[in-house]
A and B are shown apart, each in its own frame.
Chain A
Amino acid sequence: DTGVSQNPRHKITKRGQNVTFRCDPISEHNRLYWYRQTLGQGPEFLTYFQNEAQLEKSRLLSDRFSAERPKGSFSTLEIQRTEQGDSAMYLCASSPGQGAWETQYFGPGTRLLVL
C-alpha cells in the first residue's frame, strides 16, 4: 500500500491557462474526495466520488472546474481559464467507502500558483 499520490506536486501557470491534476487513491478505496486549501485555512470540500460516480459538488466548484474518475480508479481535476484566485493547495483523499464515518487518507497535494 503506497498511500494516496498526487501529480504534479507543484504547478505554476499563467492566468487563463488550463491545468489538470491527477490523484491516485489507495488501492480498492471506493471513495475519493477533492479539497482545496488556501494559506492559513483548513481544507474545504470540493467534490467526491463513490467509485466512478460523482455524487456531490460543493458550491465552491465553479463551472470552470471539472472532475472525473473513469473506471473508479484515479481521478483528475481540471481547472479551465485559471484565475489568480485559484491559487491554492489541492488535496485528494480516499477512504474504503464501505460504510459511514471512515478515516480519510490524504495525498501530499498539488500546489497551484496562478500568475
Chain B
Amino acid sequence: AQTVTQSQPEMSVQEAETVTLSCTYDTSESDYYLFWYKQPPSRQMILVIRQEAYKQQNATENRFSVNFQKAAKSFSLKISDSQLGDAAMYFCAYPNSNSGYALNFGKGTSLLVTP
C-alpha cells in the first residue's frame, strides 16, 4: 500500500523565518513524483512544488524547496523567508499509479505564521 505520513499536525513560524514540514511515504515503485499542495483557509488547493524521484537535485520554487531523500522515503518542504500569506494547510501527496495517478494525501500540517 502506498501511504503518506505527515507527523506534524501543526507548525508555527515567525515572519521572515524558515520552517520545515516533514513527510514520509511508502512505495515499492522506483519512478514516481511527489507533490506538496497548499490549501489556504476557505480557498482551493494549489500546487506548491513537485519532485521527480529519479532526479538527484532537490526541486526549488522561489522560497519553497524540498529535501528529498529517496532511500529514506522522506520528502520535506522548506519554506524560507516565511510570509503571512504562507499560512495554510500543507499536504504532501503521492500519486497512485494503480488509480490513474490519483493522489494519496497525508493528513496535512497546519502552518501558522506570526508577525
In the bound complex, how far is the Cα of B52 from the Cα of A56, in angstroms? 25
A42 in contact with B102 (CB, 8 Å): no
B99 in contact with A58 (CB, 8 Å): yes
A108 in contact with B100 (CB, 8 Å): no
Residues of B contacting A107 in the complex (Cβ-Cβ under 8 angstroms)? 44
Q: Does A48 contact B (CB under 8 A)?
A: yes
Stretch of A19-27, A78-86, A96-104 on the interface side: A96-104
Q: Does A106 contact B (CB under 8 A)?
A: yes
Q: State how many residues of chain A have any CB contact under 8 Å with chain B.
A: 27
A103 in contact with B50 (CB, 8 Å): yes
CB-based A-B contact count at 8 angstroms: 65
Q: State how many residues of chain B have any CB contact under 8 Å with chain A.
A: 28
With A58-B99, A109-B44 in contact, do A103 and B108 touch (Cβ < 8 Å)?
no
8 A Cβ contacts from B62-110 to A = 91, 93, 95-108
B100 in contact with A56 (CB, 8 Å): yes
In the bound complex, how far is the Cα of B30 from the Cα of A101, in angstroms? 13
A48 in contact with B50 (CB, 8 Å): no
Digitize B14-46: 1 where CB-to-A-CB distance is under 8 Å, 0 elsewhere: 000000000000000000110101000001111
Q: Which of these, B44, B96, B106, contacts A42 with CB under 8 Å?
A: B106
8 A Cβ contacts from A26-81 to B = 31, 33, 35, 40-45, 48, 50, 55-56, 58
B99 in contact with A42 (CB, 8 Å): no
Q: Does A91 contact B (CB under 8 A)?
A: yes
Which 8 A/B pairs are nearest by Cβ-Cβ distance?
A: A42-B105, A101-B33, A106-B45, A45-B102, A108-B44, A48-B100, A56-B99, A42-B91
8 pairs of residues in contact across A and B, judged by CB atoms under 8 Å: A41-B108, A42-B93, A44-B105, A55-B100, A101-B95, A101-B101, A102-B101, A108-B44
